[in-house]
Structure 1
């Protein structure tokens, strides 16, 4: 596979001598957390700062995902990069890649994925921890942004697969909010209509106990593009809360 280097980031990376796979692989940085391991493979994430621009540099070795298309396995970053590219083509707001490449070196499968940091954005998980401190207008704006994001995602027949608060980032814009997604490794096509849509949305509802029933109506109204008191919102609210209750009892 030919290395990907985003046109918007090329000059900055090359100015710092980081426009190639080998340079990014060799760059000495401190990991942001403990590496993930699987068998003899590992995967780690690093923070990179270049002239005031933030990036996350991900490197992995023999950290493979096996699928029907890749029964012998491929780097999980390869799948994530494909999904990042697909989201961009489909117009789904999500993190952006600056570089991707993979190599096989003496039997070792290496991969590098560099993404732009979402500096200035807040993950929904952290916002939920101080939800009561936000104004009603802020809460409503965030709920609407999340609902609109889900509508856009499902509208182009994609399922995120991990639609959790920690994977949704929001930012105040003008008199409202915008939202986008990270962690796209489990994305797949939406195949089963309403069933897939509800399955994708339910984890968000389950992981946001701070939201009242009326606030869930605002989320679903934005998702369905319907008034909050519509019968369609009622039906979806009942479906999701029943699914959440079933999951919580398991």
Structure 2
């Protein structure tokens, strides 16, 4: 895979001497959290600002994932980058890739992925912690935005694989909210229809403990494009609750 650089950001990176893999790999930055050292390698995330614009730079070495298509492994960022591109092609709202590159050197497989920071957006997990302070109107608009995002995702034939509140980012625009997804590493096509979709949605409902049953019904009604009293919504809610009970009892 050749290096990718977003055309809108190429000049900005080059002005700061960051137009190549080697430049970005060698840039001295403070990590935003502790490096992940699983999979026999390491992976770390850094933040940088260039001319008032925020970015996240993720670097990893020998941090591989193995699939049927790549049984010998590949950097996990490679899969995430392809999924970012796929989401954009399918019209699924998600983060933007700025740069992707990977290198094989003796004893080491390096990869880096740079994305635009979602400044001005808030993850759903943080909004849920503020839920009692938000108005009913905001509750409704946020839940609707999540339902619309899930509908767009599944109608495009994709499941996220980690559809958690911390991976859904939202921002308020007038009387509505916009939503998009991050952390696309585990995305895959829908294979088993409704079963896959139920499995994808259930973690969101399990972790959105601040949502009332009414909130969940609004989300499902939006997702299914049905009224809240529809038998279809009732069936989906019943299946989601059964799966939630099963997961919580394990």
**Cα RMSD (Å) of the superposition?**
0.9
- Equivalences for residues 38-117 of structure 1 within 5 A: 38=38, 40-117=40-117
CA deviations on 1:183-232 (whole Å, 9 max, x unpaired) are: 00000000111100100000000001111111111000110111112111
Give unpaired runs (5+ residues) of structure 2: none
Q: Equivalents in 2 of 1:179, 1:25: separation in Å?
A: 31
Return the TM-score normalized by structure 2.
0.98
**2:206 is the alignment partner of 1:186:** no
Q: Equivalents in 1 of 2:35, 2:8: separation in Å?
A: 29
Q: Equivalents in 2 of 1:29, 1:124: separation in Å?
A: 28
Q: Which secondary structure state, in structure 2, belongs to the residue aligned with residue 101 of structure 1?
A: strand
Q: Equivalents in 2 of 1:63, 1:7: separation in Å?
A: 28
Aligned to 1:120: 120
- Equivalences for residues 218-229 of structure 1 within 5 A: 218-229=218-229
Return the TM-score normalized by structure 1.
0.98
Cα deviation for residue 38 of structure 1 reads: 2.7
Give unpaired runs (5+ residues) of structure 1: none
Q: Equivalents in 2 of 1:137, 1:229: separation in Å?
A: 20
Q: Which secondary structure state, in structure 2, belongs to the residue aligned with residue 60 of structure 1?
A: strand
Cα deviation for residue 7 of structure 1 reads: 0.7
Runs of 4 or more consecutive aligned structure 1 residues displaced over 2 Å after TM superposition:
none
Count of equivalent residues: 250
CA deviations on 1:106-165 (whole Å, 9 max, x unpaired) are: 231000100000000000000111101000000000000000000000001100000000
**2:21 is the alignment partner of 1:13:** no
